[in-house]
Structure 1
Amino acid sequence: MNNREISKILYEMAALSRMEDEEFKARAYERVSQSIDGLGRELEDVYGKKGVGGLLEIPGIGKNIAGHITSLIEKGTFQEYKILKKKIPVDVLGLLQVEGVGPKNVKALWENLKIKNLDDLEIAAKRKRIRELENFGEKTEEKILAGIEFVRKSGGRKVLGLILPEIRKMEEEIKKFPDVERVVIAGSVRRRRETIGDVDILVVGKNPKKIMDQFIQLSEVDHIIAKGEKKTSVALKIGINSDLRVFSEDEFGAALNYFTGSQAHNIRLRQIAKEKGLKLSEYGLFKGKKKIAGKTEEGIYEKLGLSYIEPELREDAGEIEAAQEGKLPRLIGYGDLKGDLQIQTDWTDGHHSIWEMATYAMEEGLEYIVITDHTKDLAVAGGSDEKRLLEQMGEIDKLNSRLKKEKKKFRILRGAETNILKDGSIDIDDKTLAKLDVVGAAIHKNFELSRKEQTERVIKTMKNPHVDIIFHLTTRVIGKRRGVELDMERIFEVAKQTGTVLEIDAFPDRLDIAAQYVRICAERGIKMSIDSDAHAKAHIDYLEHGIAEARRGWAQKKDIINAHSLEKMLSMLKGKKSTGKF
């Protein structure tokens, strides 16, 4: 059982515990679930090498949880989980996908209406039975129906960032096949779409039949759908299908171009080829019967009179025209970030200390981080008040002195993820905000406000001279929550006027702001940051997903403030903050 599967069961245990009014237990399960998600190594491997003792060495895993994990690895379940599932036999995680449905709602729906899954919920809502329950009502019922529709539209698609580690693991295993010379994951994965419906794998190899035989034996494969000599389709254990295709080296560039997509981009390329008297397919670019390109993608684009187009841009959204005119942007690179401006620690709902987060960030090649723990209005996350923020600032100052003493150039900045209150004010006083190096602000409550109210709320925050960055502006959670309604034109206008930075939150199921808004910001000169929103050390690696979203939005290095040195980044903030103390 891999980390994702273990984390999922422990997260379900958190929800089941809340249904039983065991909040302390629920929080413990929730924290461990999140910690496992960001662990960076497989628990099964840790247990295999060091047993229960190895599990107990991991921060946040105590004796009780270690026992559960051991049982999950050995038996696929544990006693407490079985008891609760028997008592509450519902698809908890499926129901929790619906916006407005929490653990207590799930329990009430089960006890009163025997609702076990999404289908039962939809039937009950359409029959107007939910509104009859205490603490629900007509508006809640309508919201649930809208939430179900949203979940249904997401279909069988998976959030790419959450399953990318498994996809890359499979890719590495295929690379080890003796007859495989080259492997590339194509399709939506290569274009870095937010969600994917399947995994397209292309290989160059000597013995296609043997490659297919080895492919179907991979541990990630659940069952075979179809098996052939040059193409095999399988269902993966992560819940989506995968196709493996074998091509010759001479065909590979054309195949990679074709199977990367998007379909709309490919149609445009074929039209351009046709206008030039050529024919483009997955096997090459042909003039009559003669192949004139196909070994590399670059060769195909060149023959079509286009600059090379990065995979993230291939959506027929103006990239063809820009490539024809030589006006494609030089996209921000995956190694361009110098810092991370949103980091949570164990001072609130994070899993590691400030020093642990800083050390990991240094190891990953960053030059600075901003500690942005939650503030007091978010009590559920243990948010800090002014007194505790000042204490944390003192701790950060001590750690910076230690870094200086150890002659390390890395710096830790004093920040906070403050809460945007219903009226647009901030939950921390101005005197304390003025002492912070970087102030972020975010919506965590009152999602139901009207478009006008929500917009005015955010605008008031952006006009606050202390607020530097708006974190995860729309509040969306991919596949679960649409996000708040905002007049984005007004938001962009005020962000530009006030110099407020808009964040691209890199957490895999956030990616907020999304690519379409990134592009507008890049075009209008609105400053952005790419931040991990890390709650554990390994979450800092999520920066990659934020960079991918930025690239999909045509962003360049100049558009992202934390792609620059500490001094320059701070100078780009609203207050043009001095870095003399660093």
Structure 2
Amino acid sequence: MTVRNAEVATAFEEMADLLEIEGANPFRVRAYRFAARTLRDLPAEVGEMVAKGEDLTGLPGIGDDLAGKIKEILSTGTAAAIEAQRKRVPATVTELLRIPGLGPKRVKTLTQELKIRSPSELQKAAQEGRVRTLAGFGEKTEQHILAALAARLAEAPRVKRAVAIPYAEALVAYLEQLSGVGRVMAAGSYRRGLETIGDLDILAVAPAGRPVTDRFVAYQEVRDVLAHGETKASVRLQSGLQVDLRVVPQESYGAALLYFTGSKSHNVVLRQLAQQRGLKLNEYGLFRGDTRVAGETEESVYAALGLPWIPPELREGRGEIEAAKAGRLPHLVDLHDLKGDLHAHTRATDGRHSLQEMAEAARLRGLQYFAITDHSRRLTMAKGLDSTRLLQQMEDIDRLNATLSGITILKGIEVDILEDGNLDLPDNVLGRLDLVVAAVHSRFTLSKQKQTERIMKAMDHPHFSILAHPSGRLIGRREPYDVDMLRIIRKARERRCFLEVNAHPERLDLTDIHCRMAREEGVLLAVNTDAHSMLDLENARFGIGQARRGWLEKSDVLNTRSYAELRKLLKPTMKA
């Protein structure tokens, strides 16, 4: 049985939730959460590390006890301590944690005050108006809970892209090892770079016959075989992810890849274009009568329809075919275009590595500049910096820059936007920084008007540089706050400041729609990792994926500029 990082991390997060619901020691809860984050951000599979005899206690936040539990989960799929804790807290209670907006503290309140033990009981209590009577809830929260419950029932389960990647990559590598198999590709929403994945679609080139599908259903992580034929098979993995395999001949590969990549709306327009030319397009090829005129490659199909190849990230039926016809497809930004990162943390607040360690990791990635933007004082749980500590960090950065070559460390802060729109630190300190990254970390449920005005007032601050994670969402855990994003984007244009595309896979904020909106309004976006560890710098690829889905070119991204160019662009947002 193969157990992947995401599954071990999920087990640790569940343990932390269960402990918090029960009122356990906060340090113990935090240890599990810290370890879960380490595992999610780990580029190597922890199972492979154990197999090689590597010491897990060298990982951030992993001591002997947690290392032992990791090994136990890897070998058995669970840990005795977690099973014991599950028995103490009913399974129906833990289901409440999957409802966006309900964390362990709120679940604890619901279970203790209203004796709620399941989503159905919560729905009934909310419909009867009992939830709003609890401290820290209110009528608006009650309505949000009802909406979240309804959405949860309506939606099919999906997993975050970062979780799906190791499963997809491992399956592709597994199938490529089979003799006679040509190309293997993950298609569908995965290939289009969506934030979350439903079913995983795999396409393989091979002669007709059962060996490929036989090997597929024999994969060691398969839990259930849902279908098994000569060219099609479908399985459910131990993680719950459904994977569908199609085996196609080489001459149909391009057409099949196009068809199974989607989206449906994109494919509908392509079929209409084919019909206008007297052709028929399907997963087997592009045909004139019974004669295949294209299909071995995607490029051949697009060309036969009078179009250039369209990147998968754009295939959402949002004007990409019209842009292709007119020769106006964007030249999408790529990962190697990034020259720097403008949002990162150290262990001075809630990061895991020192200033020096983060700087060295950024230098090794080839970045020209790297901004340290630890949290400001209001975020007490993150040990936010007050003026004195921030000024000391600025001196530390100056000393570090004097020793570095090939990279410049920028002095910044992730400052809280207070409810009244003011910033969390005084002007005489903010004015000494290279940039100010501002963020909403509280009062997410303000009305649309109040939330928008709050942020716009903050953007009027003379030292404001970048709005971090502009919608505040956490995918699958917290809905975006209600804000007029078009007004925010136009305010950024007026102020000549910038918005962030936060690359953390749980945020991916801005959305692709808002990225494109910013591009059309002429507002530059910064693709930042929001790194809390050296490993988090790897998340830049997720931010670039989001930028590409938002039609962004290199010129649309602030931190594709050289250091000299960046300084010129940042200067108008600051007044010494």
Common fold by TM > 0.5? yes
Alignment of 1:457-472 (within 5 A): 457-472=454-469
1:23 equivalent among 22, 26, 32: 26
2:433 equivalent among 421, 433, 436: 436
Check if 1:505 corresponds to 2:502.
yes
Check if 1:419 corresponds to 2:416.
yes
Cα shift at 1:154: 4.1
Letter in 2 for 1:416: I
User: How many angstroms apart in 1 are the aligned matches of 2:163 and 2:412?
Assistant: 27
Secondary structure in structure 2 of the residue aligned to 1:180? coil
The runs of 5 or more residues in structure 1 that have no matched partner are none
Change (3 A) 1:39 1:524: same
Cα shift at 1:132: 5.5
Cα shift at 1:365: 3.1
Of 391-400 and 195-204, deviating more is: 391-400
CA deviations 1:367-400 (Å, max 9, x no partner) are 2221111111111111111111122222222322
Change (3 A) 1:363 1:515: same
User: How many angstroms apart in 2 are the aligned matches of 1:364 and 1:117?
Assistant: 47
Secondary structure in structure 1 of the residue aligned to 2:402? helix
Secondary structure in structure 2 of the residue aligned to 1:335? helix
Check if 1:3 corresponds to 2:5.
yes
Change (3 A) 1:93 1:504: farther
1:38·1:537 contact (CA, 8 Å) conserved in 2?
A: no
Q: Which position in structure 2 is the counterpart of 1:494?
A: 491
Letter in 1 for 2:9: S
Task: Tell me the C-alpha RMSD between the 2 structures.
Answer: 2.1
Q: Which position in structure 2 is the counterpart of 1:522?
A: 519
Q: Which position in structure 1 is the counterpart of 2:474?
A: 477
Change (3 A) 1:375 1:577: closer
Of 24-33 and 97-106, deviating more is: 97-106
Secondary structure in structure 1 of the residue aligned to 2:415? strand
2:252·2:284 contact (CA, 8 Å) conserved in 1?
A: yes
User: How many angstroms apart in 2 are the aligned matches of 1:69 and 1:35?
Assistant: 12
The runs of 5 or more residues in structure 2 that have no matched partner are none
Q: Percent identity?
A: 42
1:43 equivalent among 40, 46, 50: 46
Secondary structure in structure 1 of the residue aligned to 2:182? strand
Q: Which position in structure 1 is the counterpart of 2:446?
A: 449
Secondary structure in structure 2 of the residue aligned to 1:251? helix
1:499·1:574 contact (CA, 8 Å) conserved in 2?
A: no
Letter in 1 for 2:562: S
Secondary structure in structure 1 of the residue aligned to 2:353? coil
Cα shift at 1:355: 2.6
Alignment of 1:151-170 (within 5 A): 151-170=152-171
Q: Which position in structure 2 is the counterpart of 1:270?
A: 271
Secondary structure in structure 2 of the residue aligned to 1:50? coil
Q: Which position in structure 2 is the counterpart of 1:171?
A: 172
Q: Which position in structure 1 is the counterpart of 2:374?
A: 373
Letter in 2 for 1:60: G
1:571·1:577 contact (CA, 8 Å) conserved in 2?
A: no
- What is the TM-score of this pair, normalised by structure 1? 0.93
Cα shift at 1:360: 2.7
Check if 1:142 corresponds to 2:143.
yes
Letter in 2 for 1:532: T
Alignment coverage as a number of residue pairs: 572
Change (3 A) 1:558 1:173: same
Letter in 1 for 2:546: E
Change (3 A) 1:492 1:65: same
User: How many angstroms apart in 2 are the aligned matches of 1:18 and 1:57?
Assistant: 26
Q: Which position in structure 1 is the counterpart of 2:64?
A: 63
Change (3 A) 1:152 1:132: same
Q: Which position in structure 2 is the counterpart of 1:348?
A: 349
1:154·1:479 contact (CA, 8 Å) conserved in 2?
A: no
Change (3 A) 1:427 1:135: closer
User: How many angstroms apart in 2 are the aligned matches of 1:92 and 1:61?
Assistant: 28
Change (3 A) 1:150 1:400: farther
Q: Which position in structure 1 is the counterpart of 2:238?
A: 237
Check if 1:300 corresponds to 2:301.
yes
Cα shift at 1:282: 0.9
- What is the TM-score of this pair, normalised by structure 2? 0.94
Secondary structure in structure 2 of the residue aligned to 1:250? helix
2:208·2:249 contact (CA, 8 Å) conserved in 1?
A: no
1:179·1:207 contact (CA, 8 Å) conserved in 2?
A: no
1:72·1:78 contact (CA, 8 Å) conserved in 2?
A: yes
User: How many angstroms apart in 2 are the aligned matches of 1:509 and 1:82?
Assistant: 27
User: How many angstroms apart in 2 are the aligned matches of 1:148 and 1:545?
Assistant: 29
2:545 equivalent among 542, 545, 548: 548
1:450·1:485 contact (CA, 8 Å) conserved in 2?
A: yes
User: How many angstroms apart in 1 are the aligned matches of 2:518 and 2:105?
Assistant: 40
Letter in 1 for 2:34: R
